[in-house]
Structure 1
Amino acid sequence: MSTGIRSKAEKHAWGRRVLAELKEELDRLEAADSLHIPVEPGGWWHQYVCPRHHAELLFDPAERDAQSFLCPHGCRIEGEAYRGAWLVFKHQSLARAALQAAAVYAASREASYALLAKRIIAGYARQFPDYPVHPDAQPWMLKGRAFHQALTEAIWSTTLLRACLLLCDEGVAWTEAEREAIDGYLRLLETSMTEYRHILIHERRNAENNYTAWLNAALSCVYAVKGNRGGLLALIAGEGGWKHHLSIGVKPDQLEFEGSTYYHVFVLRAYLISAEMAERFGIDLYDAEGTAGQSMSGMFDVLAALADDRGVLPALHDGPVERLPYAREIAEIMEIGLGRYRQPGIVPILREAYRQMGDPDGARCQLEALLYGEGEDPGARRFGESAAAGTNAAGCTDSGETGLQRDSRLLPDSGFVLGRRASNALSFLADFGPHGGSHGHYDKLHLTLMHRETAFAPDFGMVPYGSELRKQWFAETASHNTVSLGGASQAAHTGSCLRFEETAAHTYVWLRSEGAYPGCRMDRHLLLTDRWLLDWFEVAAGEVASIEWWMHPVVPVEAEAVPAGVETRTEQPPDEDGFYRLAIDGEWQRLPVVKRYGAVAPIGSARELRLTYKVPGGGRIYHTALLRPGDEAYAVRTPGTSVDPSRPLTALLHRRQGRSARFVHVYSAGARTALKEMPSGAIQVESAGEIRICELTEQGLTVIGGERHE
């Protein structure tokens, strides 16, 4: 936790503003008489989701108690599972209020806020022994007392104990009764966290689990409060300890082993809390490395590489697209990372987190700013706003008006690849790596397509796990921008990257999957030039099948141009009754077909289907699909993003029945790009009078040309 909280409020305008906001919020909660500790333990927060709309239910920390729960669309939900989930949010909000009150006291020296923080901390310390080891936890969970999961308990306890430590740092005295209650709470917490570490590491042989990082963080806080340096040293060095977990829980390319951005942030936050506690004993973990060079600095660097130009982190595998508690976690770690490592790539992510937390300009706000922010507000002006390269408000080196220049990157261990070119508004992120275990999706060769102003065709991430759409849609192949066969999802498997190259003319990636379906081989070739992105997908199915190429844009089609010989109609969709069928968990799910681009006549050449999308900020994305004889294309109504699945989107399904298929698409942001299939099978790409010929060989895609035609 940052020191000098009072000096921030005295020295910086943002500090004074944030302090006033935090005081007002606490005063409002006190006036609402809402800061009372429930005697009931919390349940599982993932069940706090509307069963009809699949959106997370609303939570108001000013509510003292609640028995019915509001959906963003107006539904009122009741039931024990929802009540238990609400209690998770309530317990967490009270722990946050304790930390917030401690921070306000540190900044203002107003005794009432220290008393409030003490009241919550000591109240929980007294209540904790009365919570039972949770009888309603699901069988796979490590059970907590205050929550279904010991994991949730570990996270919650770090917030309470950081508040306790901050009060101690500020010289706040505790009564003997308060100290006795806190000591009892610490004994129980240390016993349970130690027991669960043993189960995970030694009985289940699952030390790499993200649980372990949080059990370590909770115990680190316990040892810091107790002043137990020996316990902390043993926790850092032992099997499953901080250094060992960094070596096995993070890949050598610096991404958390499950390939999930959300769980990467989750684990990095736990590491930083442990490092904060170690620092209290003069132990520096901030620059420590794992056995393959893994480091917290590297974990920040890979997040900066994955983020889009606005600072939005992609929702790879399980994890939300956007969620307030997640934005707060991002703001916390990015503030700490910025202060420690001063990496310029952190700044856009930090700003985006603050935008999601409520400040439209991305300026510092809420508790995370006062606790962890240092120096001038990085949101005070746009990164790279100065006329010449220099030092920005965060003390990082900027690159002038062009902002951050980020190159393409291959993450060979995690199985992701990014393609970027400075002069092209489009960029991409593709997934070919390991499945991701329980947090993985059936999404090999998925393509995330990004524009500088928006993630045009993103990975949708995951709804709360209590939603039935977790398995019925968001983890499944058809919800991703890749290929499925016969309406069925891919098998869990790992693909490969056969080529990755950057030249002066282009960035090229060749990805392969051979484990998605029996006897099926899929090859995706992505060619990014300064003007366009070519997506060439070859499928050898092995037997006759419905081969389905999916693309899920989050903005509607503004205009379309249908080639001669292709009919546009809404009847006769793939299964003849107005729906497209997906096979999920042995059952058929149906998606409405809203438009069909009829099959090209059996004899003739490939035709261009041209679509135009208007993106935020006024830009456009031009999409050209090559419809070959025998191909069909459909506009299919699907659930929306994982933020609100009830707001439907329209996907493009490009389909072919046969033993093999070739799907060729091109995207551009400046002007329309034309496609033409040559008699040889090569593809001609023409943009702004420049022609390139792309041909597949055994070595991958070969590009010829650059000839300009007036």
Structure 2
Amino acid sequence: MKIKHHIVLLLTFIGLITAVEVKAQEHPSLILTKSGVEKIRKELGTVPLFDATLKNVQAEVDAEIELGIDTPIPKDFSGGYTHEKHKRNFLMMQKAGVLFQILQDEKYAVYVRDMLFQYEAMYKDLPVHPQTRSYARGKLFWQCLNDSNWLVYTSQAYDCIYDWLSKKERKKLEKNLFKPFADFISIENPQFFNRVHNHSTWGNAAVGMIALVMDDAELLERALYGLKDDGLPAGAKDNDGGLIREEGQQTGFLANIDEPFSPDGYYTEGPYYQRYAMYPFLVFAEALQNVKPELKIFEHKNGVLLKSVTALLNLTDADGKFFPLNDGQKGMSYYSRELVTAVDIAYYYGGLNPQLLSIAAKQQSVLLDDSGLEVALAIRDGKVKPFQKKSINLTDGADGKQGGVGVLRSGNEDFTLVFKYAAQGLSHGHYDKLSYSLYEKGNEVIQDYGLARFVNIEQKGGGNYLKENKTWAKQSIAHNTVIQNETSHFSGKYEIGSKHHSDLNFKDFSNEDFQIISAKETNAYPGTELNRTLVMMNLKGSDKPIVIDLMKVVSNTQNQYDFPFYFMGQVVNTNFNYVTENSLKPLGTKNGYQHLWLEAKGKSSEEINQFSFLNKEVFYTISTASQKNDELLFTRIGANDPEFNLRRDAGYMIRRNAKNTVFASIIEPHGSYSHVSEFSVDSKSHIENLKVVHDDENYTAVKITTVDKEQHLIIISNNKDKNSKEHTLIINDKEYNWKGSYHYSIIK
């Protein structure tokens, strides 16, 4: 009986092992599943958005097949023929693999197989890429990052034709192509693979996804947890001066979720690179969910990957374009392929949020997988609800305690104010503490410059970052913040900036007519404290809000402070006199000042300086409380730029010499101009005066007077108070009492 019992147990154990092996070898299983493919085939012809996407993809791949396969010897930077051809190859392979599964047409499997064997034949003898700019050179591409892109997409193609290939073919591909490829971007390039950065996220996902297809446990372990011993020297840096890895820092895919994402889903590198990284984050997570559901990847760190999609969508303007915080190319939006992926996967695995469907409907495309089908079915069945973008504060840092980004919105995104008080943002960060930008609908009013790069345009530095990204775009003077003694925050040094972050004082978005946020920075300049408060407020009788900006500076020494506004539009008028420069000269010699032409210079002559400009048929006025001897400068970007790498955008700057000071300003939209009727309406400011009526260690107060003689008082507590704290302040013999961090009233 005992022997019989052991035999039964052994047979049961063998059965369990066999079941696991069968499950592990089931294909497709990364983004497509067998059951999902069956459902897709049954629904074909009945789901308009899915059917339209399938038709477009099929036409694209069919045209590519007609052209034939080309896998050229790599030689180019981004934008060059070999770079773009290998990039198109991996995109087409992934799509062809999916088409094979859905349409069961072998021509797509043949296309993928033949291309894979061309790569197999060339890869084993392929040297590193001839271009030497990258800190981690690839083989197919100039950097390992793009090689990882290739493997992330190609893994999906291989998964789709895995069962169609013979065992001999699979063995040859895995031995000569996939395993060496995975080893190259990981073991042979630990400085790329073993760090916390969007580059490594792609590398981790690439190794992990091919591991899942090949059922390679060692590779999967490497992808999830990094290399155990990478041999990297302490202090190793990448091309941008970013530290590769701090001593004792965890690495691998899970660490790349844990560290860069805050609990709110904000990604410390900024929305542009969050968008880029969302593809490997979510497709690898989807693959893990399908193949290794026991990992519960979508529950990791309290479901932050799914939260991050909503956070990212909230970091867009009214047209869906991402705010260019840190290194960010303007124009990138949620219409990108990465966000199609993110929205579909977040909908499918994140509780079927109907608001995401409205974004998917705008994208007019879905993934050709299980998640994309569910999105298309829900849109077909009328389950769409509008995505509500409201005012939001997103914390930064793994624990949410390294500053953040506040987004204040008025109405239906009529006005959007973006306030950045975040951490450095790794190597893609800018030196722009307490900076902001302002939008009306999708139009920039006060801009953030973004990055200095022409992505994938070969003629411009091989499509890579230009030197002006460091000499201009990252520097403090390129942003709407205060600059002390013509020196960037943290002296423009990454190793200093990465140690510090700004801190939130308070925020209150509860009243749409008066939204406020305040933050403090104490490390940008030694011995100087910066405290900025921004208010979005509706004045009585106005159909648009104004922005009130209070930048308080407290220092141990006398300094020169520059306070720029990078406005978009054309100058209309000023209430101060200025002299234009007949011979343009750079404003300075370093820290970004060498790239600014000085076009005109004026002096304060009134209690309030006012400057009006016209942008997209709307008038705006910047009103600033003046101090004696304030210099008022008009600048333009483009000095010391012989290759025209920088945009020729305009700026308006207040220059003040002081020890302690408050820059108090109002940005006010008003009126309109029609180029068709040639009518100008309400072209003059409604602000008569703006005055700092109190300023000390504890409180700063300003009084706003409109042309209708209505007076508004705002008092800010300069300390981080509890909302319940009671305050009393006497201004001009009148006592004001309130609870909380600020007071607002209309003076009778």
Pairing 1:694–2:714 present: yes
| Equivalent position of 1:264 in the other structure | 274
Contact 2:690–2:704 (CA<8 Å) still a contact in 1? no
Equivalences for residues 414-453 of structure 1 within 5 A = 414-423=402-411, 425-453=414-442
Contact 2:599–2:633 (CA<8 Å) still a contact in 1? yes
Give the CA deviation at 1:405: 4.8
| Equivalent position of 1:310 in the other structure | 319
| Equivalent position of 1:21 in the other structure | 56
Q: 1:10 to 1:467 in 2, by over 3 A?
A: same
Pairing 1:562–2:602 present: no
| Equivalent position of 2:536 in the other structure | 528
Give the CA deviation at 1:703: 3.3
CA distance in 2: counterparts of 1:199 and 1:635, whole angstroms = 44
| Equivalent position of 2:70 in the other structure | 36
CA distance in 2: counterparts of 1:285 and 1:268, whole angstroms = 19
Give the CA deviation at 1:699: 4.2
Where does the alignment leave 5 or more consecutive residues of structure 2 unmatched?
1-30, 227-249, 454-463, 491-496, 539-544, 672-684, 695-700, 721-740
Give the CA deviation at 1:270: 2.0
| Equivalent position of 2:456 in the other structure | none
Equivalences for residues 208-223 of structure 1 within 5 A = 208-223=196-211
Equivalences for residues 561-640 of structure 1 within 5 A = 561-563=573-575, 566-571=576-581, 578-584=584-590, 589-596=594-601, 598-601=602-605, 605-615=606-616, 621-638=620-637
SS at match of 1:254: coil
Amino acid at match of 1:309: A
| Equivalent position of 1:145 in the other structure | 139
| Equivalent position of 1:160 in the other structure | 154
| Equivalent position of 1:705 in the other structure | 745
Alignment deviations for residues 195-214 of structure 1 (CA, whole Å, 9 cap, x no partner): 1586678xxxx642334322
TM-score with structure 1 setting the length:
0.77
Alignment deviations for residues 574-613 of structure 1 (CA, whole Å, 9 cap, x no partner): xxx533424436x9614223344x2123xxx412414243
SS at match of 2:180: helix
| Equivalent position of 1:684 in the other structure | 703
SS at match of 1:537: strand
Q: 1:669 to 1:588 in 2, by over 3 A?
A: closer
Q: 1:448 to 1:345 in 2, by over 3 A?
A: farther
| Equivalent position of 2:14 in the other structure | none
| Equivalent position of 1:52 in the other structure | none
Give the CA deviation at 1:233: 6.0
SS at match of 2:124: helix
Contact 1:532–1:666 (CA<8 Å) still a contact in 2? yes
Give the CA deviation at 1:442: 0.8
Contact 1:132–1:145 (CA<8 Å) still a contact in 2? yes
Q: 1:31 to 1:113 in 2, by over 3 A?
A: same
Amino acid at match of 1:217: A
CA distance in 2: counterparts of 1:662 and 1:684, whole angstroms = 13
CA distance in 2: counterparts of 1:349 and 1:221, whole angstroms = 28
Contact 2:692–2:703 (CA<8 Å) still a contact in 1? no
Give the CA deviation at 1:454: 2.5
Pairing 1:469–2:474 present: no
CA distance in 1: counterparts of 2:654 and 2:718, whole angstroms = 25
CA distance in 1: counterparts of 2:448 and 2:402, whole angstroms = 16
Among all aligned residue pairs of Structure 1 and Structure 2, give the percentage whose two residues are the same amino acid.
17
Equivalences for residues 190-269 of structure 1 within 5 A = 190-196=182-188, 207-228=195-216, 232=220, 235-236=223-224, 240-256=251-267, 258-269=268-279
| Equivalent position of 2:385 in the other structure | 398
Contact 2:712–2:747 (CA<8 Å) still a contact in 1? yes
Q: 1:343 to 1:639 in 2, by over 3 A?
A: farther
Contact 1:250–1:294 (CA<8 Å) still a contact in 2? no
Give the CA deviation at 1:165: 1.0
SS at match of 1:295: helix
Amino acid at match of 2:98: A
Q: Which has the larger radius of gyration?
A: 2
SS at match of 2:139: coil
Give the CA deviation at 1:37: 0.4
Give the CA deviation at 1:480: 1.1
Contact 2:424–2:430 (CA<8 Å) still a contact in 1? yes
SS at match of 2:328: coil
Q: 1:368 to 1:611 in 2, by over 3 A?
A: farther
Pairing 1:511–2:519 present: yes
CA distance in 2: counterparts of 1:430 and 1:132, whole angstroms = 46
| Equivalent position of 1:63 in the other structure | none
Contact 2:152–2:280 (CA<8 Å) still a contact in 1? no
What's the Cα RMSD here?
A: 3.6
SS at match of 2:151: helix
Equivalences for residues 108-187 of structure 1 within 5 A = 108-134=103-129, 136-138=131-133, 141-168=135-162, 172-174=164-166, 176-177=168-169, 179-187=171-179
Q: 1:702 to 1:173 in 2, by over 3 A?
A: closer
SS at match of 1:36: coil
Equivalences for residues 81-92 of structure 1 within 5 A = 86-92=81-87
Amino acid at match of 1:703: H
Alignment deviations for residues 4-28 of structure 1 (CA, whole Å, 9 cap, x no partner): 4545652233333333333333344
SS at match of 2:553: strand
| Equivalent position of 1:339 in the other structure | 348
Q: 1:278 to 1:419 in 2, by over 3 A?
A: closer
Where does the alignment leave 5 or more consecutive residues of structure 1 unmatched?
46-58, 60-82, 352-361, 379-390
Q: 1:174 to 1:463 in 2, by over 3 A?
A: farther
CA distance in 2: counterparts of 1:394 and 1:608, whole angstroms = 57
Amino acid at match of 1:611: S
CA distance in 1: counterparts of 2:358 and 2:598, whole angstroms = 39
SS at match of 2:138: coil
| Equivalent position of 1:48 in the other structure | none
Equivalences for residues 546-561 of structure 1 within 5 A = 546-553=560-567, 555-557=568-570, 560-561=572-573
CA distance in 2: counterparts of 1:612 and 1:588, whole angstroms = 23
Alignment deviations for residues 62-100 of structure 1 (CA, whole Å, 9 cap, x no partner): xxxxxxxxxxxxxxxxxxxxx5xx432221111111122
CA distance in 2: counterparts of 1:422 and 1:524, whole angstroms = 20
SS at match of 2:184: helix
Contact 1:692–1:706 (CA<8 Å) still a contact in 2? yes
| Equivalent position of 1:381 in the other structure | none
